[in-house]
Structure 1
Amino acid sequence: MLICLTANHRNASFDLLEKLSVGTSDVAKSLVAESDFVQGAVVLATCNRFEAYLDIDEPLTAGVSLAVEQAAESFSAASGTDVGELRDSLTVLCGDGVADHLFAVSSGLESVVVGEDEIAGQVKRALTTARVEGTTSSDLERLFQRASHTSRGVKTKTGLGGAGRSLARLALDLAESRVTDWARTRVLLVGTGQYARVTLANLRDRGVTDIRVFSPSGRAVAFAAKQGLEAVPAAGYRDAIATADVVITCSTAETVVLSADDLTAAVALPGAFERRLIIDLGLPRNVDPAVAGIGGTELLDLETISLHAPLDELNAESDARALVGEAAAEYRAGKAEAEVTPAVVALRSHLFDLLDAEIDRARSHGDTTETERIERALRHLVGVILHSPSVRARELAREGRADEVFAAVETLFGLGGVAATNADTARADAEPAAEAVALDDYRRAEG
């Protein structure tokens, strides 16, 4: 059973989200390794949400409660947050609601800026990290892969995010009132990751040409060479701050990269600009909030940016939510089909076993050539007979009537215990399972 623990910009403070983004990267691994019922875990941490997707082996309410409590305590201990505050800020989703939520998240429908571009990549990277750490599961794999497929469909079929909307773009939109002429603005970019590339593209869209880059991790030279920028060495960091109109931080460093001491020293340097705008896009926070108290400085951080998120583009969002709803419904139907696979397999095996027994008996008495011809015909006949009930079983599963399929197989053919194997078998992907059934039928029919 899948559950999701989500703390996001709608139900948690940015201070809490910032703390959760630090030190919790290894918690998923420990949850899977140390828990008796957590079979898989994927953690999604972005600038406005922290979510843990868990695959638990116990479908009962008690199992869900235990998994939620264990996860909350683990994340609290790793991030230094108060477990009570964390519990109050977490929303818990179970079962079908998990797919609905993740599909909406990956499509940008739950972001501060509806339709933002970065979230789809962050969802993919969360799954990749889980694979590397060995914490994913077949159910989580299927869920996240379908989420990525859904987000691509939303992007290509609707106008949502068509303008490349993102927090970086929104931040620069808000900065318009402070910048007289972007073409003459001197910008210092702190960070060299994905968000830095997005921010750089947005700056160039506005006509900014004077851009320098600094990396706390020492990657500025390679990034600058690739992007055609000027790299700032560590020794020149404060000089670069002093002579920048706009400083934008988007580093993944877990510590502050622009402190009040850095800025105080920078503004005291000869030739330092009198005024500057600092935009902090980092989570954890890249900039010490105290810099806002230094003369001539204005700080624009994520919390402030989120308060100015634009109204949704209603038509595009409506179309996108319809696509997400359809994708989630299809995902649920696929899972339901997988649930009846044990019944279909049991019925198929039962009939072909009976056929094999009759063929063996005929071989011991009849002409070999004639027996082989009849055998092929009989195998084909059984395959044809099985086709309709197999299709009908999957149709009933999509209607939520899987129990009727199990009951029918057990009642009519005496195949007891079919439903008992359902929980394990349902973890396999519905499409490969259906393909395996069809392939097996074909092989048997062909002899």
Structure 2
Amino acid sequence: MERVLFCLTANHANADFALLDRVSRIPASEAATRLAELDFVRGAVVLSTCNRFEAYLDLDDPLAAADAIAAEAVVGALAELTAEDAEALRESAHAHTGDSAVRHLFAVTSGLESMVVGEEEIAGQVQRAAQDARRAGTVSSPLDRLFQQAARTSRSVRSAGDLSGADRSLARLALDLASARIPDWGSARVLLVGTGRYAATTIASLRARGAADVRVYSATGRAAMFAAKYGVRPETTLTEALRDVDVVITCTARYTVTPDAIPGGSPLLVIDLGLPRNVDPAVGAIPGVELIDLELLALHAPLPELADSAHALVGGAVAEFTADETAAPAIVALRRHIDEVLEAEIGRARTRGDDGRIETALRHFAGVLVHGPSERARLLASEGRIDDFAAGLDAVYGITPTAPTHAETETDGIASA
């Protein structure tokens, strides 16, 4: 049975942050597991970041045109949502099918769909989502190849030069906005709440602005180890740490700063980079406290014109991925036929006392023999002529392509690596 790739996405551009905040509280691995248990879903990867929620599904082909059914399945898998949130997600989320889903993932991974266009963290977040799905056993062969190709596409876009070395991140954007309130970062006392990957990115952005007094607090007890690694000062008590700083930057999914933790009397700038929220919105109502959160950042996010090459690279990667997927059955059929002939010849060589040299030569020759036709199959697939190649296989070898198994595509080198 043929399959189709499907994606349902809700992000900062089409859903409000309050909804994304609540949806993001559902563990992505749990949501993927629920989706993968559905009869018509062959694989699922869920990407949940600070400003987007996306479900990528490998569906049975009869559902290819039934976007509403697949979208409802995603909403249904998020059982913790209230009826109001479920309806809001249905109305705001966008569905992508087939090549559109491929293009969307490649663009997302390359940072072209981010609130800060070209942000660097998203590529790692996408790959961690795929890794989590692999560990949970929810990723299918087509999805695995899709996410591997997405990683390669992201590297190609960045190496093109348009987005590399630009310090593009939410942390950078937040600090740019905060600089209007902090005239001299060199004398500012800064507290980070959280020790994850984003905290490390934030430190780099702070130091680029001359910040020297940086401290870190972790509710999980990792502050000392993190501080030693990045050369900052560890704090053991959040309330005490907040009494002696000018800026607080939160970047953790495990803690929420409440009004009770905020000392009164001194000006304080609080930057919340988390979703779910790390800071209770009520903190922003405390006299002397200014709160910058993702909702405010979205209003100030720049939308620079990216060079045509970045979009062209994504488009080319989509075409390459689609051609490889289309050509895979024909290539595997050819490889299978040649392997059968190869094994028969190797068997005869062994009965004649081959010491291994003939077998090695035969295997090398078989690899060379299949390479040219495989490249031709990919080319014809990209031109919409894969049926011509299949007809040639039938005419010359009498073989008919069928959908390859995951083991065959991995062995034959068709899958992305």
Q: Is the aligned partner of 1:399 residue 2:383?
A: yes
Deviation, structure 1 residue 349 = 7.8
In the alignment, which residue of structure 2 is the partner of 1:246? 247
Distance 1:394 1:123, change over 3 A: closer
Give the distance between the partners of 1:382 and 1:8, measured in 2 at CA: 48
What is the TM-score of this pair, normalised by structure 1? Answer: 0.80
Q: Secondary structure at the match of 1:146?
A: helix
SS in 2 for 1:213: strand
Which has the higher mean CA deviation after the structures are superposed, 339-348 or 319-328?
339-348
Q: C-alpha distance in 1, partners of 2:368/2:208?
A: 61
Per-residue CA deviation, residues 25-64 of structure 1 (Å, 9 max, x unaligned), is 21211222x2112111111111111111111233443665
Q: 1:262 is matched by which residue type in structure 2?
A: A
Q: Determine if the alignment matches structure 1 residue 94 to structure 2 residue 85.
A: no
Q: Residue 326 of structure 2 corresponds to which residue in structure 1?
A: 336
1:78 corresponds to 2:73: no
Distance change in 2, residues 1:392/1:145 (3 Å): closer
8 Å Cα contact 1:139-1:427 kept in structure 2: no
Per-residue deviation at 1:408?
A: 5.0
Q: 1:381 and 1:227 mapped to 2: Cα distance? A: 53
> What is the match of residue 183 of structure 2?
180
Q: Is the 8 A contact 2:271 2:293 kept in 1?
A: yes
CA contact (8 A) 1:3 1:92 kept: yes
Q: Give the distance between the partners of 1:429 and 1:68, measured in 2 at CA.
A: 30
How many residues were matched structurally? 395
Among candidates 432, 439, 444, match of residue 413 of structure 2: 432
3-state SS of paired residue (1:18): helix
Q: 1:409 and 1:204, CA in 2 relative to 1: closer, same or farther beyond 3 A?
A: closer
Q: Kindly tell me: are residues 72 and 423 of structure 1, through their superposed partners in 2, closer, same or farther at Cα, counting changes over 3 Å? A: farther
2:268 maps to 1:280 = no
Match of 1:324 in 2: 314
Equivalence for 2:54: 51
Which string of whole-angstrom CA distances, capped at 9 and with x for unpartnered residues, describes residues 286-330 of structure 1?
A: 111111111111110001011101231x2x442211111122221
SS in 1 for 2:278: coil
Q: Provide Cα deviations, 1:95-128, integer angstroms capped at 9, x if missing partner.
A: 1112211111111111011111111111111111
Superposition map of 1:217-228 within 5 A:
217-228=220-231
Letter in 2 for 1:199: T
Report SS of the residue matched to 1:123: helix
- 1:2: how far off? 1.2
In the alignment, the residues of structure 2 paired with residue 7 and residue 130 of structure 1 have an alpha-carbon distance, to the nearest angstrom, of 19
1:369-388 equivalences under 5 Å are none
Separation in structure 2 between the aligned mates of residue 394 and residue 99 of structure 1, nearest angstrom: 17
Contact 2:19 2:85 in 1 (8 A): no
- Of 3, 9, 18, 2:6 maps to 3
3-state SS of paired residue (1:422): coil
Q: 1:157 to 1:431 in 2, by over 3 A?
A: farther
Higher share in helix: 1
Can you list the C-alpha shifts for 1:370-425, whole angstroms capped at 9, x where unaligned? xxxxxxxxxx999999887666544332322233444455567765xx35x23757
Contact 1:7 1:49 in 2 (8 A): yes
For normalisation by structure 2, the TM-score amounts to 0.85
Aligned residue in 2 for 1:261: 260
Residue type at the aligned position of 1:245: D
Query: How far has the Cα of 1:426 moved from its partner?
Result: 11
- Give the AA of the match of 1:249: T
Deviation at 1:281, TM superposition (A): 0.5
Greater C-alpha radius of gyration: 1
RMSD: 3.1
1:145 Cα offset (Å): 1.0
Are residues 392 and 159 of structure 1, via their aligned partners in 2, closer, same or farther at CA, if it must alter by over 3 Å? closer
Distance verdict in 2 for CA 1:72–1:390, change over 3 Å: same
Q: Hey, what does 1:27 align to over in structure 2?
A: 31
In the alignment, which of 61, 64, 69 is matched to residue 61 of structure 1? 64
Q: Distance in 1 between matches of 2:48 and 2:178?
A: 26
- Contact kept? 1:114, 1:161, Cα under 8 Å: no
Check conservation: 2:7, 2:95, Cα contact below 8 A: yes
Q: Distance in 1 between matches of 2:310 and 2:371?
A: 36
Q: Secondary structure at the match of 2:26?
A: coil
- Is residue 187–residue 213 contact of structure 2 (8 Å, CA) maintained in 1? yes
Change (3 A) 1:37 1:309: same
Tell me what 2:210 maps to: 207
Cα distance in 2 for partners of 1:49, 1:383 equals 44
Q: 1:392 to 1:200 in 2, by over 3 A?
A: closer
Query: Are the counterparts in 1 of residues 319 and 382 from structure 2 also a CA contact under 8 Å?
Result: no
- In 1, distance between residues paired with 2:20 and 2:371? 52
110 and 16 in structure 1: CA distance in 2 versus 1, 3 angstrom threshold? same
- 2:322 aligned counterpart, secondary structure: helix
Contact 2:320 2:382 in 1 (8 A): no
Question: Following TM superposition, by how much is the alpha carbon of 1:341 offset from its aligned partner in structure 2, in angstroms?
Answer: 2.6
Whichever residue aligns with residue 258 of structure 2, its letter is: S
**1:303 is matched with which residue: 268, 272, 295?**
295
Structure 1: 5+ residue runs without aligned partners? Answer: 361-367, 369-379, 435-447
Give CA-to-partner distance per residue, 1:259-294, whole Å, 9 cap, x none: 01222xx21xxxx52x11111001100111111111
Distance 1:186 1:393 in 2: 61
